[in-house]
Amino acid sequence: MLINSNFLFITVIPLWLIWKIINLGSKLYKRLEIRIGFEILKALFFFYILLLISITLFPIRVNMPDNNYISYNFIPFKSIIHMQRHGFYMFTRNVLGNIIIFAPFGFLTPMICKNFSKLAKVILYSFLLSLIIEALQSIGFIERRSFDVDDLLLNTIGAIAGFILYKAFIALMPLLRKLIGLPYILRKS
């Protein structure tokens, strides 16, 4: 039996909504400030992590014969070079896909957590998150996945790119506020 990512969405989203309603209700009851923009950013981050999990860790194989071939790559740039030899589409899909999938991490984490306002923290935590994903993929219960050190490198580069976009966005915020009346929704870093 294969468990696909629909299971994740069907179970986690309702639980998250219940928790969010209770959390916001508690804040209202205690007359605490609720910053709508900040709540939206946290929701975006939650859905990003959910999407990241669904893309990288599903489908999960349960009680099935182990026909899954698991490969490991511990040599930097080996799979990138291999992909390049097998055509532009495969190379672009793998390299850009691994970069793009972690760019939101580098962009959103500094917005919702002051501790991530430095690039070094974003690099460390994106690398650790990528390492956890790669380790889980190497266990073997996840279909058509493998451990690849190049994914660690590309995911971390993606988070760095996201952080650079975040810094550019923050630098442009005063101009955006003047041009379109954009309210301040981010924590000061």
Instruction: Write out the residue range of the structural domain in which residue 48 sits.
Output: 2-180
pTM for the full model? 0.84
* Gap between the Cα atoms of 180 and 125, Å rounded: 34
Specify if 118 maps to a domain. yes
Contact criterion met (CB below 8 Å) for 61 and 68: yes
Beta-carbon contacts of 114 under 8 Å, excluding residues fewer than 6 positions away, are 187, 189
Specify if 111 maps to a domain. yes
Specify if 185 maps to a domain. no
Tell me how crowded residue 94 is: count the other CB atoms within 10 A of its CB: 20
pLDDT number for residue 28? 94
* Helices 119-139 and 149-180, packing angle to 10 deg: 140
Backbone angles phi, psi at 71, to 5 degrees: -115, 155
Specify if 186 maps to a domain. no
Specify if 105 maps to a domain. yes
pLDDT number for residue 189? 42
Number of domains observed in the structure of the chain: 1
Specify if 23 maps to a domain. yes
pLDDT number for residue 90? 85
Q: Tokens 């002051």 correspond to what residue?
A: 114
pLDDT number for residue 64? 57
Specify if 135 maps to a domain. yes
Give the C-alpha distances (Å, rounded to integers) separating 182 from 154, 170, 173, 178.
Answer: 33, 12, 8, 7
Specify if 62 maps to a domain. yes
* pLDDT, tens digit only, all 189 positions of the chain: 667 788 888 999 999 999 999 999 999 999 999 989 899 999 999 999 999 999 998 877 776 555 556 678 888 989 888 888 888 888 898 999 999 999 999 999 999 998 999 999 999 999 999 999 998 888 766 666 678 999 999 999 999 999 999 999 999 888 877 777 655 555 444
